[in-house]
Chains A and B, each alone.
Chain A
Amino acid sequence: MIQKIGIIDYGNAGNIFNIKKALEATSLGMKISILHSAKDLKKVDKIILPGVGTYRDVMSEISAWLKDIKEGVLKKPTLGICLGMQILSEKGYEYGETVGLSAVGGEVLKMPVKGRIPHIGWSTVETIKPSKIMKGIAAQEQFYFMHSYELVNYTDVVALSTYNDHKFVAVVEKGNVFGVQFHPEKSREAGLKILKNFINL
């Protein structure tokens, strides 16, 4: 059976188009669908939580089917990208304190750096632990970041990056829940490799 990957639609926000395009560019067989409801969610094998938006806005957009998403994330392999990774956490503070999906531990806080925020651009990601999602990626590889907030997590970290001498979490992995702070769909071949790893799980 051909696997079905679903991308959750947050309404206005989300970079769904580009994630879909990047998944297609891997040339691996799959059916990609955009999920708008609990009913859609039931039909897919894997879930992608896209990025772009704000923690508070996205949690409010998905409030109607929050329970189903939480259940889905527990049962089906899930990849959160950028903001999608951040909402996997317990809590966020962008535009006010907001409870997240709590699939991984930790909170999302404004990056505590002196230099320019948002952190926009290519940074080296260093894998510190064997990981399914980072399989085949060089121990130090460059990925594209675009964020002002970071996930503060000490338990599920598999890769770190550095911005203005500040180390922060780049990748988390807990069972079949994966989160990447960077944009794999915008990180050339290395980014596509991450998506391939997720598809091949």
Chain B
Amino acid sequence: MNKIRIIARLDVKPPYVIKGVHFEGWRKMGKPEDLALKYYEQGADEIFYIDCVASLFRREIFYEYIQKTSQNIFVPFCVGGGIKTVDDVAKLLHHGADKVVMNTYAIQNPNLIRESAKVFGNQCVVVSIEAKKWDGWWECYTDCGRIKTNKDAIEWAKEAQDLGAGEILLTAVDAEGRKKGFDIELMKNVSQAVSIPVVASGGAGNLEHIESVITQGQVDAVAVASVLHYDVLKIKEIKKHLESKNIEVSL
């Protein structure tokens, strides 16, 4: 068995980490540099930093926040938001990111995945899929769950893998921020369709939710946000619970 990763996800609307429900009704949770350090100290296996409004506002990500947030974090730091070109990726890596997450522009220009993977390696390119459930299928959304694309999430996951993505960050738009559990069916369908790691995101409300998305959803990592921001759970506690259920983690 391989160790399941527990990732702290920071959705950022600079200068604050925000949290909403279904990507809407945002509330300020704190500063990204403070929360990143807090979750690093709690034992997070990785930190994800997603600028939620960069692509929506059609602007570049704010590099100074990336640099500041990564400063005292000695676990992988993955950054996304408004990435349009290979140069954007390079710039992020030079400001403290270890890998990047792309969604909006990767859907508009899938070649961005291929080009980035060729220069930085597959492991550096995470493709984020925000999926909304319809009758019998899941549709990809962009711009933090706002814009429809007509693209089938499972098909897009396979395509992204073929283009060179090293990992999929998978968020169910309907479950996001509700703390009512993950969309297990979506997670399982995508996990089985690809051979690259899948990170489940959106919906963790308690320990059982996290456990079941691993055992039933068959994902390789779980990204948590609300439960950490509201101090409902601590990362160590999540890992200890998983270990007690014979799921390997890094403790």
Q: A residues engaging B (CB < 8 A)?
A: 12-18, 21-22, 25, 52-54, 57, 83, 94-95, 115-123, 142, 144, 146-148, 163-164, 183, 185-189, 191-192
Contacts and interface: CB of A to CB of B under 8 A. Distances in A.
Closest 6 CB pairs of A and B: A122-B250, A118-B123, A146-B123, A12-B90, A118-B166, A186-B76
Contacts of A163: 2
Interface of B: 2-3, 5, 45, 67, 70-72, 74-77, 86, 90, 93-96, 98-99, 118-124, 166-167, 195-197, 220-221, 250
Contacts of A15: 93, 98
Given A21-B71, A22-B74, A148 B5 contact: no
Contacts of A17: 67, 93-96
A144 B167 contact: no
Nearest to A94: B121
B246 to A, nearest CB: 17
A144 B7 CA distance: 13
A53 B119 CA distance: 6
A148 B161 CA distance: 13
29 contacts: A12-B119, A13-B90, A13-B121, A17-B93, A17-B95, A18-B70, A18-B96, A21-B71, A22-B74, A25-B72, A52-B93, A53-B119, A53-B120, A57-B119, A116-B197, A118-B166, A120-B167, A120-B220, A121-B5, A121-B45, A121-B220, A122-B5, A122-B250, A123-B2, A142-B3, A144-B76, A148-B121, A186-B75, A186-B76
A121 B120 contact: no
